[in-house]
Amino acid sequence: MIYVVIGFLWLSICLYVILGGADFGAGIVELFTKKRARDKTKEIMYESIAPVWEANHMWLIIAIVILFVGFPEIYTTMSTYLHIPLVLMLLGIIARGTAFTFRHYDAVKDNWQVLYTQIFYYASLLTPFFLGLIAAATVSGSINPDATTFLDLYIFSWLNWFGVAVGLFTVSLCAYLASIFSLRETTDRLELGLMIKKSKQTMTFVVITGGLVFLTAYLSGIPLVKWVFSKTLGIISIFFATVALGLILKAMKNRKLLPVRALAGFQIIMILVAATYQHNPNIILLGNGQHLSLLQHVAAPKTISALGWALMLGSLFILPFLFYLMASFSKLRK
Amino acid sequence: MDDFLAARAQMAISLGFHIVFACVGMVMPFLMAFAHWKYLKTNNEIYKGLTKAWSKGVAILFATGAVSGTMLSFELGLLWPGFMKHAGPIFGMPFSLEGTAFFIEAIAIGFFLYGWDKFNKWFHWFCGFLVGLSGLASGILVVAANAWMNSPSGFDYINGQYVNIDPIKAMFNDAWFPQALHMTVAAFCATGFVVAGVHAYLIMKKKNVEFHTKAFKIAAAFALVGAFGAPLTGDVAAKSVAERQPIKLAAMEAHFETEKGAAFVLGGIPDEEKGEVKYALKIPKVLSFLVSNDFNSEVKGLNDFPRDEWPPISVVHYAFQIMIFFGVVMISIGAVYLYAVFFKKDWLTKNWLLKTFFFATPFGYIALEAGWTVTEVGRQPWIIYGIMRTVDAVTPMPGIQYSFYFFTAIFVSLSLIIIFLLRRQIHMVPKLYDPTDAQFNDKNMKS
């Protein structure tokens, strides 16, 4: 049953990064779009997310609940030593979620929209940045429970160049996902051209910030290259991600966009696999040489079995209903 | 500010706000589904407008409740890692089920808000109803988790170790049913009064009278059920507290000496040093009766418990008194309204009745917050009653006061924005929602 629970943890993290990430990305892309083209971009991107955006963010809650019920030590270690970036990420989640709703549901459309929109933009940027920063801190060994000073315990546990690089990489990934996802929202030639240009720009950023991640890892003595390339699965996932990139470029060139969303989602999964497979089942690598493992630092068997059943039964209800929601609205837009 | 106090204050603020958003989000969908049902049955366009108007409120409050709930799921760990490390696997079951309920709610709300005229009308209606149903389930599950802190079960505590963990037993602890029942009824009462109060005010303004009268009637019916249900379910809850947490009951009543035929203390100023309550109204033997249906039964007093296990007596006592006071006021208003409906139809359009409802707008929520204060402060100094002290659960990170200021600022600004947004929705009623109004044009409305 433990593997069922770990599977669901994986699934919810992947789905949050892909679906939630694309939502964040929509805000980021809009922020970096010149004022002239903003309204157009906004229109294309929001028609696609409005009915499902609430559901996309539920995946984070599912992941958190799995962590605190099934892996309490992992949850409390993160919430103790990564307190500050977690609070900042929360700020982003709150500001973004509410600003999005407010800008959509405010009965009067006036200057307040400008404020909601500004909050929405910066929160969309802030959240994935800290999400990446937190993910980086779990593997970089920067969390050290044996440290003695406030700075070492609670600040340098997350504040380092590697974390910043992973944060920027996550931001780029989100923007990339959003622009790829929006490709299928329009049939207008001009609009499509605009969005393809955006997709290529964001793709460039993903590559640059990805390089930055490797560079900072090297400079900070984190064996990232070894993690990714020393095992077959890691190499295979990187290979597949690259192939998918080529296929997306080709699809964009030929304007045959049917598979782009699936390909981009697949790329993200491959990147996540490559980044985490090497130290699996360890999920947090601490600065004092110890690890927190999904197989060892786990709740009592009865809890895990109840949690596994709850997740399986829950998904029996959720998944068909969710797919029906997504399918209905994408059909209605056509 | 001391870190421990700051952590408690931050948790109190977060829960205090989340409770409001969550309860409105739990009950408003039922109001909305009721109006929608009326529309489908009568084809009266006013009900359709009303359904849409209320659904905007639901959307705004659901989104806020969802983010404040997300915050809480993090705050549990950010502020109380010592608690979560041990309690997570024991009391986490309702949370994992709540995830499902919440997810279904989010999907159903997507169908409902964006599904007008796009789906089978009864499927569409059902989605609206489902928003309420799953919201209610979420609420009950979260209360079950809270109840576990009052009535820890589903594990054995041996030499500081938590062993033989059974999460299902923990979920169905002794306190979950009375707490969940009382809370659900209170949520209906509080939300009913808020919505009725707002529409009563708008009727008095003499604009869109028919629209607001229809709204008022539905909301008042909900308020009525809640107002009469609250004392009945409260009685169940109080008996359960007396049995499980006699010290909490003693604090609620500022009952210092163990005695037979104990009096019910109304109001007054408790003096912890002297162990007495000044200026209180004492109704002889009633406390004994309420606790056990026997006027002469024994009720344990605070002096029977070690001093370091006392909760803050004044806070708990005042909060309990406030809850009872507003509860009684709401029952009285409900009784007058019921009398008017059956015997004095002309009262229903009278200004004094509407004014009364307008003044009572916040009463339900005041009582609800006071009730939660009793539950939470009354459990202190324990975070897991009798097992773990709150002070042992707090995060080792210093500087929590800044976090407290920060979260307070967020919650206050969120609330201000929500009030502002809801006011704007109300101002747009003639243009967007009331089809009988001359200004009405639903082309303006984005779904």
Q: According to the model, what pLDDT value does residue A54 have?
A: 62
Closest to A6 in 3D by CA, of A317, A293, A315, A323: A293
Per the listing, tokens 């070690």 go with: B306
What pLDDT digit, counting tens, does each position of B71-117 carry?
888 999 999 999 999 998 898 889 988 888 888 888 888 889 888 88
Is residue A310 less than 8 Å (CB to CB) from chain B? Answer: yes
Low-confidence ranges of chain B (pLDDT < 70): 442-447
What DSSP string describes B179-207?
HHHHHHHHHHHHHHHHHHHHHHHHHHTTS
Residue A190 CB-density burial (10 A; 0-12 exposed, 13-18 middle, 19+ buried): exposed
Q: Are B211 and B393 in contact (CB under 8 A)?
A: no
Say if the Cβ atoms of B76 and A68 lie within 8 Å.
yes
A83 vs B contacts (CB less than 8 Å): 78, 395, 397, 403
How much is the ipTM here? 0.86
Mutate to test the interface with A, among B10, B28, B74, B400 (most CBs of A within 10 A): B74
B70 vs A contacts (CB less than 8 Å): 57, 60-61, 64, 90, 93-94, 97
Say if the Cβ atoms of A306 and B77 lie within 8 Å.
no
Is residue A307 less than 8 Å (CB to CB) from chain B? Answer: yes
Closest to B298 in 3D by CA, of B262, B263, B260, B264: B260
Say if the Cβ atoms of A303 and B165 lie within 8 Å.
yes
Say if the Cβ atoms of A54 and B62 lie within 8 Å.
yes
Looking at the complex, report in whole angstroms how far the Cα of residue B219 sits from the nearest Cα belonging to chain A.
Answer: 22
Q: Which of B81, B106, B406 sits opposite A54 (nearest CB)?
A: B106
What pLDDT digit, counting tens, does each position of A126-182 carry?
999 999 999 888 888 788 888 788 887 888 788 888 889 899 999 999 988 888 887
The CA-atom distances, in angstroms, between A81 and each of A222, B5, B395 are: 20, 20, 10
Q: Is B268 left (phi over 0), alpha (psi -120 to 50) or beta?
A: left
Is residue A4 less than 8 Å (CB to CB) from chain B? Answer: no
Say if the Cβ atoms of B84 and A75 lie within 8 Å.
yes
Looking at the complex, report in whole angstroms how far the Cα of residue B357 sits from the nearest Cα belonging to chain A.
Answer: 26
Say if the Cβ atoms of A303 and B89 lie within 8 Å.
yes
A134 vs B contacts (CB less than 8 Å): none
Mutate to test the interface with B, among A67, A78, A80 (most CBs of B within 10 A): A80
For the entire predicted model, the pTM comes to 0.89
B403 vs A contacts (CB less than 8 Å): 83, 87
Closest to A84 in 3D by CA, of A21, A30, A1, A151: A151
CB atoms within 10 A of CB B359: 14
Say if the Cβ atoms of A54 and B63 lie within 8 Å.
yes
d(CA A219, CA A228): 16
Q: Search chain A and give the residue with CA nearest B420.
A: A106
Say if the Cβ atoms of B92 and A307 lie within 8 Å.
yes
A311 vs B contacts (CB less than 8 Å): 96
What is residue B386's DSSP assignment? T
Q: Are A66 and A4 in contact (CB under 8 A)?
A: no
Say if the Cβ atoms of A107 and B56 lie within 8 Å.
yes
CB atoms within 10 A of CB A327: 10
What pLDDT digit, counting tens, does each position of A78-123 carry?
988 999 999 999 889 888 888 887 777 776 777 788 888 888 889 8
Q: Which helix (H) or strand (E) holds A231?
A: none
Q: According to the model, what pLDDT value does residue B242 have?
A: 87
Residues 6+ apart with CB under 8 A from A82: A134, A137, A143, A157, A158
The mean pLDDT value of chain A amounts to: 83
- The alpha carbon dihedral of A163, A169, A170, A172 has a sign of positive
Q: Is the peptide bond before B284 cis (omega within 30 degrees of 0)?
A: no
B395 vs A contacts (CB less than 8 Å): 79-80, 83
Mean of pLDDT values over A285-308: 82
B90 vs A contacts (CB less than 8 Å): 303
Residues 6+ apart with CB under 8 A from B241: B248, B249, B252, B378
Q: Search chain B and give the residue with CA nearest A75.
A: B77
A69 vs B contacts (CB less than 8 Å): 88-89, 92-93, 95-96, 167
Say if the Cβ atoms of A101 and B93 lie within 8 Å.
no
B78 vs A contacts (CB less than 8 Å): 79, 83, 86-87
| Position A279 confidence tier, pLDDT thresholds 50, 70, 90 | confident
Looking at the complex, report in whole angstroms how far the Cα of residue B191 sits from the nearest Cα belonging to chain A.
Answer: 21
Q: Which of B78, B100, B114 sits opposite A86 (nearest CB)?
A: B78
Q: According to the model, what pLDDT value does residue A334 have?
A: 61
B398 vs A contacts (CB less than 8 Å): 150
d(CA A39, CA A184): 18
Looking at the complex, report in whole angstroms how far the Cα of residue A87 sits from the nearest Cα belonging to chain B.
Answer: 8
Q: Are B86 and B383 in contact (CB under 8 A)?
A: no
B77 vs A contacts (CB less than 8 Å): 68, 75-76, 78-80
d(CA A268, CA A15): 10
The CA-atom distances, in angstroms, between B1 and each of A43, A270, A319, B160 are: 48, 48, 47, 31
What DSSP string describes B273-338?
TTTEEES-EEETTHHHHHHHS-TT-EE--GGGS-GGG---HHHHHHHHHHHHHHHHHHHHHHHHHH
Q: According to the model, what pLDDT value does residue B447 have?
A: 45
Q: According to the model, what pLDDT value does residue A274 have?
A: 82
Per the listing, tokens 């003499």 go with: B206
d(CA A64, CA A54): 16
Q: How many CB pairs under 8 A join A and B?
A: 199
B119 vs A contacts (CB less than 8 Å): 328
Q: Search chain A and give the residue with CA nearest B89.
A: A69
Looking at the complex, report in whole angstroms how far the Cα of residue A200 sits from the nearest Cα belonging to chain B.
Answer: 32
